[in-house]
A and B are shown apart, each in its own frame.
Chain A
Amino acid sequence: MIYWHVFIAFFIPNIIGYGGGPAIIPLVENEVVGRFGWMTSQEFAETLALGNALPSPIATKMAGYIGHEVAGIPGAIIATFATVAPSLILMLVALGTLYRYRHSIKVKSMSQWARPIIMVLMGYLTWSFLAEGVAGAGLMHTSIIGGVSAVLLMATRIHPAIVVCVGLSYGALLLG
């Protein structure tokens, strides 16, 4: 049963999430934090932080780690499979058909219409991280870390992994 749940928790986000791996994050959060309650919001944030600090696709890293947490190595394999396989198999099997419709307005509008919904989900996740930060580290520390990382991420070319390290160091030194 747990394996079925792991499969569903990653299959659904990946079969509706248009816009590559990042689009899938809020949908996965909805399943693993909201629906199945496998992780707290803070644990999800930690996972996402490390995921952003490491290279390679974000969706598969999240799937592999969360699957492993929930149901060991089989869980990791199932979650990664549910993330990668459905759309890849569809692409391999239906390549010819898809090729014909690759510039179709209807097909394009699918990903275009889904985008604002993903945007809302991402916005909501941003909000819940803010609430989580204020509840945990407090308003002052959340504003300082958030402000500094916003400047570093948006105004400089500093690597996101370094910004993640800044947050970790600040937390270890000042919040511990």
Chain B
Amino acid sequence: MKKLSQLFLAFFRIGLLGFGGGPSMIPLVHQEAVKRYTWIEDDDFSDLLAIGNTLPGPIATKMAGIIGYRVAGIMGCLVAVLAVTVPLIVTMIIVLEAFNRFSEERWVQGMSQGIVPVVMVMMAQLTWDFFQKSQVSLGLIGTLVIGAAAGGLIYGLGVHPGLVIGAVLLTALLRPEPTPIEASQGVIK
């Protein structure tokens, strides 16, 4: 029981303090799980993070779930995931419902319009961030070729992005094991 309440507190704190989406919350998870409560070793944490990154989906909830599971089994997993997600989901629903209640007011409509360019800039930042990361691992040409091909399929031919990404993931997984030379190039970061 004590472990469960500690898990709840730790991931509740992480949820409240972590701005900027899951990836930027990882240092907070490290702070709580490795430093404060010493639930797992530093090396273990790095391994779990590496494994989490080999899977799709949000990273913060994967880390919460796996650490919760390590500490207190299935219940621990549930408590950690709920603690990091539910409080802010509820906040989000309450704030936006209140906002929508006044959606007929002119000034609220102005707020709705005023926020769009801000979100546009945030999305541009994310695009740039993904471009840079991709350039490091695939190079400029590789990034542009995959990007252009995907863009053509998705926006030119109307293929569902899920199919395009799914096909690329399968190709990556099923291709022959890279030769040592390719492998060494693949590791360059």
Q: Is the interface of A mostly helix, strand, loop or mixed?
A: helix
| B89→A65 contact, CB < 8 A | yes
The reply on B108 being an interface residue by CB < 8 A is yes
The reply on A58 being an interface residue by CB < 8 A is yes
Return B43 CB to nearest CB of chain A, in Å: 12
0/1 string, B49-76, CB within 8 A of A gives 1: 0111111111111100110010000000
| B146→A116 contact, CB < 8 A | yes
List A1-27 residues whose CB lies under 8 Å from chain B. Answer: 12-27
The reply on A158 being an interface residue by CB < 8 A is no
Return A18 CB to nearest CB of chain B, in Å: 5
CB closest chain-A residue, reference B136: A112
The reply on A33 being an interface residue by CB < 8 A is no
List A52-75 residues whose CB lies under 8 Å from chain B. Answer: 52, 54-61, 63-65, 68
0/1 string, A27-39, CB within 8 A of B gives 1: 1001000000000
Size of B's binding interface in residues, CB under 8 A: 98
User: Which of chain A's residues have a CB closer than 8 A to the CB of B175?
Assistant: 106
Given A50-B96, A102-B51, A105-B187: A163 and B85 interface contact (C-beta under 8 Å): no
Q: Is the interface of B mostly helix, strand, loop or mixed?
A: helix
User: Which of chain A's residues have a CB closer than 8 A to the CB of B81?
Assistant: 84, 88
Which of A17, A30, A47, A48 interacts with B57 by CB under 8 Å? A17
0/1 string, B102-144, CB within 8 A of A gives 1: 0001111111111111111111111100110110011000111
Which of B58, B84, B160, B172 interacts with A110 by CB under 8 Å? B172
How far is A21 from B146 in the complex, measured between Cα atoms in Å? 21
User: Which of chain A's residues have a CB closer than 8 A to the CB of B177?
Assistant: 105-106
| B125→A154 contact, CB < 8 A | yes
CB closest chain-A residue, reference B124: A126
User: Which of chain B's residues have a CB closer than 8 A to the CB of A129?
Assistant: 116-117, 119-120, 123
| B91→A21 contact, CB < 8 A | no
| B88→A54 contact, CB < 8 A | yes
User: Which of chain A's residues have a CB closer than 8 A to the CB of B150?
Assistant: 116-117, 120
Chosen A-B contacts, 12 in total, with CB atoms closer than 8 Å, are A49-B115, A56-B16, A56-B87, A61-B89, A61-B92, A80-B89, A102-B51, A110-B172, A111-B53, A114-B169, A146-B118, A164-B118
- B interface, CB within 8 angstroms of A: 15-23, 25, 47, 50-62, 65-66, 69, 77, 81, 84-93, 95-96, 99, 105-127, 130-131, 133-134, 137-138, 142-144, 146-147, 150-151, 154-155, 160-162, 164-166, 168-169, 171-173, 175, 177-178, 182-183, 186-187
Q: A112-B134, A176-B107 are in contact. List 6 more A-B contacts (CB 8 A).
A: A42-B113, A48-B122, A57-B84, A65-B89, A98-B51, A123-B127
Please give me the 10 A-B residue pairs with the lowest Cβ-Cβ distance, nearest first: A171-B114, A64-B89, A176-B110, A87-B57, A175-B110, A176-B107, A129-B120, A56-B88, A167-B118, A145-B117
